[in-house]
Each structure stands twice: as structure tokens, then as C-alpha cells.
Amino acid sequence: MKSISVIVPTYNSIKFVHRLFSTLMPLLNYSSIEVLFIDDGSSDSTFDLLSSWALNYQNVYAFKKTNGGVSSSRNFGISRAKGEWIYFVDSDDEVDFNNFINIIKYLSSEIDLLQFSYTKLEDDRSQFISLRQLNKVTLNHYNLKNFRNSVWCYIFRRQVILDNNLQFNVSYKYAEDMDFILRYMNFMNGKITCLNVSGYNYIIRKGSVMSMDFDMLKILQHWSVVENILTDSIIPFISFRANCNLLKFTIYRIYNSHYTENELKNLQKKYRKLLFVNKMFFLYSCLNILLFFALFSIKGSVKFVNFLKKYL
């Protein structure tokens, strides 16, 4: 069994973390797996509960730090991790233990990144989010449709993180996962394996951060990540198509959000330079979006063209 550090940030998580821990408990039978709970200054009894688990299980560790956000907690966990591999888990979700045990068998010296599918749970509905199965492929052969913005879809090699001083950007509140994953991919030398097996249950609860509609801050932070990626020459692996998909995603989010004309104008003005510096990416993205609307709605196509005329 490969040595793995499971890093779990918590903050006032007393309502959910017990459910998560019940799905992690079978992993504790393996001495090569450690679980690190990083409490981000909870004001409830979360840390007391974590401490009790740490006392009862020799491979469970509980740390408490001053409040700094989930990125800060993950960075703290990286600095304390000892495993060859690192896996990040959110405290209000679940690990699918039976599948996860089979998934980690694919960790090997040839790969630097292991990706797998997940199941989205909302109310009484469940949705399996599939991947295209890939075995030990290079980044050049990585299927971009497989890319996911959440770190809990991946298991990372710790040495790649340490050698390149990779950390989560604490200034991001919404796009920190995408930023970390892409920068990790840039520095890795090994291959990627993608498994079309669900190893994680992503639970959407009313009022959670990811269940809310996109607001201006989320848009700006995703833009910031895209801007850094498009203009950063040290990330050569990201292909033309990848750039277009990232830009298309962001443009679509802006178009599909409910903002005033002034807000949209200011937002587009802020990134006008980026759009024109990357004119080919932008034009390709617009054509893709227009094709999408043309297939489903002529009215939508007209609206999007008018949008481009107004704000670009």
C-alpha cells in the first residue's frame, strides 16, 4: 500500500465532519495512510472532536491554526504531511471507501497524478460525473474534457509539490483549486492516469459556497487565474484548445450572469487587453459559444452577438 496523506481542512464542521470520518475510518486500518485534520480556528467543538479521534487512532492527526481560509489550511497540511502522495478532502463531503481502495492501487512510480471520477449528490438526486479512461499518458495526450476544477478529483505526488514550492493561492476564494491543479501539471514530469471510477461523493447543500450563483468576485477570480495562465510563458503544456476552453468558460459565465450594463462594461474593460492579446483564443471561443447557441437557440445567438458589440 502506497503511503498517502489525506488532508482535511475544517471550520465549524461539527455537523458534517463525523459523517466524513465514518467514510475515512476503513483507511485507518492501513498504517501507510495518515489523515491530517487542519482546523481553521473553529468557534464550535470541531477541534475537540478531531482531538479525540487523534487520541484514539495513531495515524490521525489534529492541528489547530488561526483562521486563514481553506487554502491556508491546505498549505499547512502540506507542510505537515509525510506521505509519498497527498489527497485533499473537504470536510462536508464523503470518500467512497470501497472504490477509493481500488483506485489507489493505480499509484505507481511512472505517474505523478492520478485522477478519478466522482458522484454529485444533491437532495435525493445523484449524478455520476464520468471521465475518459486513460492509463499512464503524458500531458500532450491528456484529454482536456477530463479536466476538473476540484482537487479532490486528484491524488498528487508530494515530491512534485515540495520540489517546486507549490502552494494554494490564499488570495483566491473560489478559483484556488483550478490554479493549483494547472500549476502542478506544469511542473510534473511523470504521466497521468485517469480512472472512470467514482472515489468521492460531492455533496451539495443549500447555502454552501459552491451552490450559490456566481457573483462578481467569483468571476474576477476565475478571470485572474485564466489571465495568469494565458500570459505565463512557463506553462507550455496548455494547448491552444485548453486556452480556448478556459476563456470560453469565463466569457460564458460573464454573459450568463445577471449584472448591470455598467458592471459588465467595467469587467470587460479590465480584461480588454487580455482578450486582444489573445485574439485568436478569444475569437475561437466566441465561435464555439455562437455555435452552441445556434444549435439550441437562434435568439440566444442574436443576444450574444449584441453582447459582444456592446461590451467589447
Averaged pLDDT for residues 143-169: 92
The answer to whether 212 and 173 have CB atoms below 8 angstroms apart is no
List pLDDT tens digits, range 102-128. 999 999 999 999 999 999 998 888 999
What fold is seen in the domain 4-211?
Answer: Spore Coat Polysaccharide Biosynthesis Protein SpsA; Chain A (3.90.550)
**Helical axes 240-255 vs 279-296, angle rounded to 10°:** 60
- pLDDT of 182 reads 81
At residue 64, what is the residue type?
Answer: K
User: Picking from 2-6, 83-87, 144-148, 208-212, which range would have the lowest pLDDT averaged per residue?
Assistant: 208-212
Q: Where are the domains of the chain?
A: 4-211, 216-311
Q: What is the mean pLDDT of the chain?
A: 81
List pLDDT tens digits, range 7-26. 999 999 999 999 999 999 99
- pLDDT of 50 reads 98
pLDDT > 80? residue 222: no
Provide the b/e sequence for 170-198 (b: ≥16 CB within 10 Å): eebebbbbbbbbbbbbbebebbbbbbebb
- pLDDT of 233 reads 44
Q: Which residue has the higher pLDDT, 232 or 143?
A: 143
Q: Which of 15, 81, 75, 73 minimizes the C-alpha distance to 40?
A: 73
User: Picking from 56-65, 173-182, 225-234, 247-256, which range would have the lowest pLDDT averaged per residue?
Assistant: 247-256
Give the chain's end-to-end CA distance (angstroms, integer).
Answer: 54
